[in-house]
Amino acid sequence: MLVGGIAGSVFSQAPPPEFRSMSQAGVRLGGWANLGDTPAKSATGTGGASYDIDFKGGCFYTEAYVGIRITPILVSELTLGIFNRGEVNLTDGTDQYFGNLVVYPFSVRAKMYPFGNSRWRLQPYLTGGLAFYYARHSIQFYRTNALFVVFDETSATDFDLTAGGGCNLPIAQKLALDFNVSYMPLAFSKSLMTIQNYDGLSITVGIVYLFSSKK
């Protein structure tokens, strides 16, 4: 009864005025799930070099963002995320190269609160916008006397859309919790580790700090 009463008061109380009027900055942490293609575990590359790939179905995802408040129901959000798609190890004769394929999503999107003018403390939202994706195969260490790139396609970029949704729960005058789900359609114009489709879904939780963007 006590827990239910506390939870009821948290969710039923109106959000603080700052939440409707102030801008946002926050961090999201969670997971990224693969919805695209999966490359072969091993193959032969340029010049007879071979590689071994260990791409899992999911990985850790983190994202930082800033949202500028436009109206009580609209925020313009800029995000920068990062996730490690997996390990890529190259072998060329007696030379070995150990690295990872890391993807950096950058997006500019609108965040809409359909009940932003209501007295609901729990505020759901929808997001949509444009995204720029940069992926790179980077070599962390190697066993050879000379470092060189075995594959031509060591990096790739893509412009695409992004969409999602989530909810905020204010817990203090300038703090709120965040739950977010984002769909990332990601198809590079050239193959990166033999595949082009890197579509994915991120599911994160985070913390939001509210600040004034007006002087």
Angle (CA) 176-177-181 rounded to 5° is 130
pLDDT tens track for 44-59: 665 666 777 888 899 9
User: Quick one: how far is CA 73 from the chain centroid?
Assistant: 23
pLDDT value at position 11?
56
Across the range 189-202, mean pLDDT stands at 88
pLDDT band at 143 (very low <50, low <70, confident <90, very high): low
pLDDT value at position 74?
97
pLDDT tens track for 148-157: 544 444 788 9
Mean pLDDT of the chain: 84
Burial class (CB in 10 A: 0-12, 13-18, 19+), 18: middle
pLDDT band at 92 (very low <50, low <70, confident <90, very high): low
Q: Where are the domains of the chain?
A: 22-211
Across the range 176-187, mean pLDDT stands at 96
Across the range 26-44, mean pLDDT stands at 87
> Does domain 22-211 correspond to CATH entry 2.40.160.20?
yes
Q: How do the residues of the chain divide into helix, strand and coil, expressed in percent and rounded to 5?
A: 10, 65, 25
Q: How far is residue 184's CA from residue 20's CA, in Å, rounded to a whole number?
A: 28
pLDDT tens track for 93-140: 666 777 788 999 999 999 999 998 888 899 999 999 999 999 987 766
Nearest-CA neighbor of 181 among 148, 214, 213, 204? 204
Nearest-CA neighbor of 132 among 160, 167, 163, 152? 160
pLDDT value at position 206?
98
